[in-house]
Amino acid sequence: MNKQHISIIIPAYNEERYLGRCLDAIAAQIEKPYEVVVIDNGSADKTAEVAGQYSFVTVLSEPKKGRVFARNKGFMGATGELLARIDADAILPADWTQQVASYYTSPTALKTAWTSGPHFYNVRFPRTVSRIYSMLVFGANRFFAGHPTLWGSNMVLPKEIWRKVSDQVCLRNDIHEDLDLAIHVHRAGYQIVHKKQPTVRVQLRRVQAHALLGGAPRHAKLARDRPQRVEHLRRRGLGSAARHRTASLSLVARRTVLPAVLASFTSH
């Protein structure tokens, strides 16, 4: 069958320090993507200027703060058949788009969403930390929710799937937008395929922020608020009561267990 066009979508907020390396890695891809869309999410720095220096990049603006709003703006504005989502600090291996394109050559694959994990490069023992992270994130979601999550720094879904779920995803900044998207993709009857390769090089910045900026009180509040989150999922029509609880537990595990386990590995 014909090869699908890959659009790479990059939500970005104050990412001038990292975005150039991300775009350099995209420029070095063996198989070039169809388009690259950077969504400036109201940055106060030169994020948009950095993106504008690359001729192959389309820069969009989303003034409403939050990764979910920037992601949605990019997904809606992209024109490729495959919507690839990465973060602004992601450094793709040179054959990343080639591997994604190869996976999506079959009609069966076009009915699935694809994801892989990280290789954290700003920590001590990067291989160990990356493996622990993947085990906790993907393993916890399989255990609690019955399917893999999508990981926002390294994921792809066909536009056809996005069209099916775009009006259902939660527009809340206190819920991981990639986890929420995975729940809706699964509910719509599509399979989520987790591959061990290719991983992408990223920084372990968000876990560090949780650990250093009063993470424990926020995690405690998250656990206390779990009944309200369960009710929110129920109102969105996400399956059985058990599924509501397990999806919410997966979110709690992702924000509590991960920082506690991984913070000790991060570099100072």
Query: How much is the pLDDT for 3?
Result: 76
Query: How much is the pLDDT for 242?
Result: 47
For residue 239, what are its two tokens?
């399956």
Q: How many CB atoms lie within 10 A of CB 37?
A: 24
Residue 37 near residue 58 (C-beta atoms within 8 A):
yes
- pTM strictly above 0.85: no
Query: How much is the pLDDT for 123?
Result: 84
Give the residues of the chain that fall short of pLDDT 70. Answer: 1-2, 206-268
* 3-class secondary structure, 46: coil
Strand ranges for the chain from DSSP E: 6-12, 35-40, 57-61, 82-85, 112-115, 118-120, 155-158, 191-194, 200-202
Query: How much is the pLDDT for 133?
Result: 83
Annotate 7-32 with three-state secondary structure: EEEEEECCCHHHHHHHHHHHHCCCCC
Separation CA 56–CA 49 (nearest Å): 14
Query: How much is the pLDDT for 232?
Result: 53
72: nearest Cα among 191, 184, 147, 148: 184
217: nearest Cα among 179, 185, 255, 251: 255
Using only C-alpha atoms, what is the Rg of the chain? Answer: 18
Query: How much is the pLDDT for 244?
Result: 47
- Write out the H or E segment, with its range, that includes residue 262: helix 241-262
Residue 207 near residue 266 (C-beta atoms within 8 A):
yes
Angle at 74 between CA 69 and CA 80, to 5 degrees: 150
Strand partners, 39: 11, 60
In the chain, DSSP finds a helix count (H) and a strand count (E) of 11, 9
Query: How much is the pLDDT for 210?
Result: 43
Amino acid (one-letter) located at 92? L
Query: How much is the pLDDT for 206?
Result: 59
Q: What is the pLDDT of residues 43-86, one digit of tens each?
A: 999 999 999 999 999 999 999 999 999 999 999 999 999 999 99
Query: How much is the pLDDT for 251?
Result: 52
**All domains in the chain, ordered by first residue:** 6-265 (3.90.550.10)
Angle at 12 between CA 201 and CA 44, to 5 degrees: 130
